[in-house]
Amino acid sequence: MSPSVKKSTIDEIRRRFDNDVDRFSNLETGQAATVDARLAMDLVAQAAACVSPHARDVLDIGCGAGNYSLRLLAELPGLNVTLVDLSRPMLDRAVERVAPATTGVVEAQQADVRELDLPEDRFDVILAAAVLHHLRTDDEWDAVFRAFSRWLRPGGSAWIFDMVTSSLEPVEGLMRERYGAYLTDLKDAAYRDHVFAYIEKEDTPRPLVEQLDRLRRAGFQQVDVLHKHGCFAAFGGVRGG
Protein backbone atom coordinates (compact mmCIF):
# COMPACT_ATOMS: atom_id res chain seq x y z
CA MET A 1 0.00 0.00 0.00
CA SER A 2 1.22 3.45 -0.84
CA PRO A 3 2.06 5.61 2.18
CA SER A 4 0.95 8.69 0.19
CA VAL A 5 -2.70 7.62 0.13
CA LYS A 6 -4.85 9.58 2.57
CA LYS A 7 -6.84 7.01 4.52
CA SER A 8 -10.60 7.11 5.01
CA THR A 9 -11.90 8.79 8.13
CA ILE A 10 -14.11 6.95 10.61
CA ASP A 11 -17.13 8.85 9.30
CA GLU A 12 -16.33 7.82 5.72
CA ILE A 13 -16.02 4.18 6.76
CA ARG A 14 -19.27 4.39 8.71
CA ARG A 15 -21.14 5.82 5.72
CA ARG A 16 -19.88 3.08 3.42
CA PHE A 17 -21.13 0.37 5.74
CA ASP A 18 -24.43 2.18 6.33
CA ASN A 19 -25.11 1.63 2.63
CA ASP A 20 -23.93 -1.98 2.43
CA VAL A 21 -26.10 -3.86 4.92
CA ASP A 22 -27.62 -6.39 2.54
CA ARG A 23 -24.24 -7.61 1.27
CA PHE A 24 -23.12 -8.35 4.82
CA SER A 25 -26.31 -10.26 5.69
CA ASN A 26 -25.56 -13.46 3.78
CA LEU A 27 -24.75 -16.19 6.29
CA GLU A 28 -24.15 -18.79 3.59
CA THR A 29 -21.49 -16.99 1.59
CA GLY A 30 -20.16 -14.40 4.04
CA GLN A 31 -18.37 -11.62 2.20
CA ALA A 32 -17.66 -12.66 -1.39
CA ALA A 33 -14.50 -10.54 -1.74
CA THR A 34 -12.99 -12.33 1.27
CA VAL A 35 -11.15 -15.57 0.56
CA ASP A 36 -12.59 -18.58 2.45
CA ALA A 37 -15.13 -16.38 4.26
CA ARG A 38 -17.55 -19.19 5.15
CA LEU A 39 -14.78 -21.60 6.12
CA ALA A 40 -13.25 -19.01 8.45
CA MET A 41 -16.64 -18.30 10.02
CA ASP A 42 -17.15 -22.00 10.71
CA LEU A 43 -13.65 -22.41 12.14
CA VAL A 44 -13.96 -19.37 14.41
CA ALA A 45 -17.31 -20.52 15.77
CA GLN A 46 -16.17 -24.09 16.32
CA ALA A 47 -12.88 -23.05 17.92
CA ALA A 48 -14.65 -20.62 20.26
CA ALA A 49 -17.12 -23.34 21.24
CA CYS A 50 -14.50 -25.97 21.99
CA VAL A 51 -12.14 -23.61 23.84
CA SER A 52 -14.92 -21.85 25.79
CA PRO A 53 -17.66 -24.52 26.01
CA HIS A 54 -19.28 -23.01 29.11
CA ALA A 55 -19.44 -19.49 27.69
CA ARG A 56 -22.36 -17.29 28.71
CA ASP A 57 -21.45 -13.91 27.23
CA VAL A 58 -20.06 -13.06 23.80
CA LEU A 59 -18.86 -9.71 22.48
CA ASP A 60 -19.01 -9.28 18.70
CA ILE A 61 -16.79 -6.35 17.63
CA GLY A 62 -17.56 -4.96 14.19
CA CYS A 63 -20.53 -7.30 14.13
CA GLY A 64 -21.83 -6.14 10.77
CA ALA A 65 -25.18 -7.82 10.16
CA GLY A 66 -24.49 -10.44 12.83
CA ASN A 67 -23.19 -13.40 10.84
CA TYR A 68 -20.49 -14.46 13.28
CA SER A 69 -22.78 -14.26 16.31
CA LEU A 70 -25.39 -16.32 14.48
CA ARG A 71 -22.83 -18.95 13.56
CA LEU A 72 -21.51 -19.12 17.14
CA LEU A 73 -25.07 -19.49 18.47
CA ALA A 74 -25.40 -22.61 16.31
CA GLU A 75 -22.55 -24.08 18.38
CA LEU A 76 -23.39 -22.49 21.76
CA PRO A 77 -27.14 -21.79 22.02
CA GLY A 78 -28.56 -19.33 24.50
CA LEU A 79 -25.64 -16.93 24.77
CA ASN A 80 -25.97 -13.33 25.88
CA VAL A 81 -24.70 -11.31 22.90
CA THR A 82 -23.27 -7.79 22.91
CA LEU A 83 -23.10 -6.40 19.38
CA VAL A 84 -20.80 -3.46 18.54
CA ASP A 85 -20.47 -1.71 15.20
CA LEU A 86 -19.78 1.73 13.75
CA SER A 87 -22.89 1.54 11.58
CA ARG A 88 -26.37 1.98 13.05
CA PRO A 89 -28.10 0.24 10.10
CA MET A 90 -25.72 -2.71 10.49
CA LEU A 91 -26.48 -2.90 14.23
CA ASP A 92 -30.21 -2.75 13.61
CA ARG A 93 -29.99 -5.61 11.12
CA ALA A 94 -27.77 -7.62 13.49
CA VAL A 95 -30.23 -7.24 16.38
CA GLU A 96 -33.11 -8.16 14.08
CA ARG A 97 -31.33 -11.40 13.11
CA VAL A 98 -29.58 -12.36 16.36
CA ALA A 99 -32.33 -11.68 18.93
CA PRO A 100 -34.67 -14.44 17.65
CA ALA A 101 -31.73 -16.89 17.55
CA THR A 102 -30.96 -16.86 21.29
CA THR A 103 -32.79 -17.04 24.61
CA GLY A 104 -30.08 -14.79 26.06
CA VAL A 105 -29.99 -11.02 26.27
CA VAL A 106 -28.96 -9.13 23.12
CA GLU A 107 -27.47 -5.66 23.54
CA ALA A 108 -26.24 -3.30 20.83
CA GLN A 109 -23.80 -0.43 21.04
CA GLN A 110 -22.80 1.88 18.20
CA ALA A 111 -19.13 2.63 18.79
CA ASP A 112 -15.59 2.62 17.48
CA VAL A 113 -13.64 -0.16 19.21
CA ARG A 114 -10.90 2.37 20.01
CA GLU A 115 -13.37 4.35 22.13
CA LEU A 116 -15.35 1.46 23.58
CA ASP A 117 -15.67 1.41 27.36
CA LEU A 118 -16.74 -1.98 28.74
CA PRO A 119 -16.41 -3.64 32.15
CA GLU A 120 -13.41 -5.83 32.91
CA ASP A 121 -13.86 -9.62 33.12
CA ARG A 122 -17.23 -9.32 31.38
CA PHE A 123 -17.10 -11.76 28.44
CA ASP A 124 -16.19 -15.37 27.74
CA VAL A 125 -15.70 -14.97 23.99
CA ILE A 126 -14.78 -12.01 21.78
CA LEU A 127 -15.32 -12.14 18.01
CA ALA A 128 -13.68 -9.63 15.66
CA ALA A 129 -14.23 -10.32 11.98
CA ALA A 130 -12.94 -8.01 9.25
CA VAL A 131 -12.70 -5.01 11.56
CA LEU A 132 -9.18 -4.66 13.00
CA HIS A 133 -7.69 -3.76 9.62
CA HIS A 134 -9.21 -0.31 10.21
CA LEU A 135 -6.77 0.33 13.06
CA ARG A 136 -3.93 2.66 12.10
CA THR A 137 -1.08 3.11 14.57
CA ASP A 138 0.95 0.71 16.71
CA ASP A 139 -0.56 2.29 19.81
CA GLU A 140 -4.08 1.63 18.55
CA TRP A 141 -3.34 -2.02 17.81
CA ASP A 142 -1.78 -2.56 21.25
CA ALA A 143 -4.57 -0.71 23.05
CA VAL A 144 -7.30 -2.75 21.36
CA PHE A 145 -5.62 -6.08 22.12
CA ARG A 146 -5.10 -5.01 25.74
CA ALA A 147 -8.78 -4.06 25.90
CA PHE A 148 -9.75 -7.51 24.58
CA SER A 149 -7.71 -9.06 27.40
CA ARG A 150 -9.34 -6.81 30.02
CA TRP A 151 -12.86 -7.47 28.80
CA LEU A 152 -12.44 -11.24 28.83
CA ARG A 153 -12.81 -13.33 31.93
CA PRO A 154 -9.69 -15.37 32.83
CA GLY A 155 -9.56 -18.29 30.41
CA GLY A 156 -11.81 -16.49 27.94
CA SER A 157 -10.93 -16.49 24.27
CA ALA A 158 -10.75 -13.96 21.42
CA TRP A 159 -11.10 -14.99 17.77
CA ILE A 160 -10.20 -12.84 14.78
CA PHE A 161 -10.69 -13.20 11.06
CA ASP A 162 -9.17 -10.49 8.92
CA MET A 163 -6.99 -9.42 6.08
CA VAL A 164 -3.29 -9.72 6.90
CA THR A 165 -0.07 -8.69 5.20
CA SER A 166 3.31 -10.38 4.95
CA SER A 167 6.48 -9.18 6.66
CA LEU A 168 8.43 -10.23 3.55
CA GLU A 169 8.01 -7.78 0.69
CA PRO A 170 8.32 -10.38 -2.11
CA VAL A 171 5.75 -12.59 -0.40
CA GLU A 172 3.43 -9.62 0.07
CA GLY A 173 3.65 -9.01 -3.68
CA LEU A 174 2.86 -12.66 -4.36
CA MET A 175 -0.14 -12.63 -2.02
CA ARG A 176 -1.49 -9.47 -3.65
CA GLU A 177 -1.09 -11.02 -7.10
CA ARG A 178 -2.92 -14.17 -6.02
CA TYR A 179 -5.70 -12.18 -4.40
CA GLY A 180 -6.05 -10.10 -7.56
CA ALA A 181 -6.45 -13.29 -9.58
CA TYR A 182 -9.10 -14.51 -7.13
CA LEU A 183 -11.11 -11.28 -7.49
CA THR A 184 -10.79 -11.33 -11.28
CA ASP A 185 -12.03 -14.92 -11.42
CA LEU A 186 -14.86 -14.04 -9.04
CA LYS A 187 -16.11 -11.24 -11.31
CA ASP A 188 -13.68 -9.40 -13.59
CA ALA A 189 -10.65 -7.09 -13.67
CA ALA A 190 -12.80 -4.02 -12.98
CA TYR A 191 -14.05 -5.62 -9.77
CA ARG A 192 -10.46 -6.45 -8.78
CA ASP A 193 -9.44 -2.84 -9.28
CA HIS A 194 -12.48 -1.63 -7.31
CA VAL A 195 -11.65 -3.85 -4.32
CA PHE A 196 -7.96 -2.91 -4.39
CA ALA A 197 -8.90 0.77 -4.52
CA TYR A 198 -11.00 0.69 -1.36
CA ILE A 199 -8.44 -1.48 0.44
CA GLU A 200 -5.82 1.13 -0.40
CA LYS A 201 -8.07 3.95 0.79
CA GLU A 202 -9.65 2.34 3.84
CA ASP A 203 -7.55 -0.48 5.29
CA THR A 204 -4.24 -0.85 7.13
CA PRO A 205 -3.82 -4.59 7.78
CA ARG A 206 -0.81 -5.93 9.68
CA PRO A 207 1.20 -9.17 9.40
CA LEU A 208 -0.27 -12.23 11.09
CA VAL A 209 2.91 -12.96 13.08
CA GLU A 210 2.93 -9.39 14.39
CA GLN A 211 -0.66 -9.68 15.55
CA LEU A 212 0.04 -12.96 17.34
CA ASP A 213 2.95 -11.27 19.14
CA ARG A 214 0.70 -8.36 20.14
CA LEU A 215 -1.89 -10.78 21.52
CA ARG A 216 0.78 -12.43 23.67
CA ARG A 217 2.00 -9.09 24.98
CA ALA A 218 -1.59 -8.12 25.78
CA GLY A 219 -2.03 -11.08 28.12
CA PHE A 220 -3.09 -13.96 25.90
CA GLN A 221 -1.13 -16.94 27.21
CA GLN A 222 -1.89 -19.22 24.28
CA VAL A 223 -2.42 -18.19 20.67
CA ASP A 224 -3.10 -20.26 17.58
CA VAL A 225 -3.79 -19.96 13.85
CA LEU A 226 -6.93 -21.68 12.63
CA HIS A 227 -6.49 -20.97 8.94
CA LYS A 228 -4.50 -18.81 6.54
CA HIS A 229 -5.11 -18.51 2.84
CA GLY A 230 -3.14 -15.82 1.07
CA CYS A 231 -3.85 -12.46 2.66
CA PHE A 232 -6.64 -13.65 4.99
CA ALA A 233 -6.25 -15.43 8.33
CA ALA A 234 -8.36 -16.76 11.19
CA PHE A 235 -6.61 -16.87 14.54
CA GLY A 236 -7.09 -16.26 18.23
CA GLY A 237 -5.93 -16.71 21.77
CA VAL A 238 -6.86 -17.51 25.36
CA ARG A 239 -6.49 -14.97 28.12
CA GLY A 240 -4.26 -16.02 31.01
CA GLY A 241 -5.69 -16.62 34.47
- CA trace torsion 202, 203, 204, 205 (10° rounding): 180
Q: Digits of tens for pLDDT over the chain (241 positions)?
A: 444 568 878 787 777 776 776 666 666 655 778 999 999 999 999 999 999 999 999 999 999 999 999 999 999 999 999 999 999 999 999 999 999 999 999 999 999 999 999 999 999 999 999 999 999 999 999 999 999 999 999 999 999 999 999 999 999 999 999 999 999 999 999 999 999 998 999 999 999 999 999 999 999 999 999 999 999 999 999 998 7
pLDDT at residue number 152: 98
147: CB partners within 8 A, 6+ apart: 113, 116, 118
Cα–Cα dist 53/125, whole Å: 10
For 20, which DSSP code?
A: -
Number of C-beta neighbours around residue 202 at 10 A: 16
Number of C-beta neighbours around residue 18 at 10 A: 13
Cα–Cα dist 35/120, whole Å: 34
For 4, which DSSP code?
A: T
Cα–Cα dist 127/131, whole Å: 10
Domain boundaries, the chain: 10-239
pLDDT at residue number 3: 46
Cα–Cα dist 164/159, whole Å: 14
User: How are beta strands 152-163 and 123-129 bridged, if at all?
Assistant: parallel
Closest CA to 220 of 236, 196, 209, 204: 236
pTM here is 0.93
What is the b/e burial string over 118-132, where b = at least 16 CB atoms within 10 angstroms of the residue's CB? eeeeebbbbbbbbbb
The percent of the chain in helix, strand and coil, each rounded to the nearest 5, is 45, 25, 30
Cα–Cα dist 97/46, whole Å: 20
pLDDT at residue number 15: 76
Under CATH, what is the fold of the domain 10-239?
A: Rossmann fold (3.40.50)
Q: Report yes or no: 156 and 126 within 8 Å, Cβ to Cβ.
A: yes
CA contacts within 13 A on the Cβ side of 78: 4
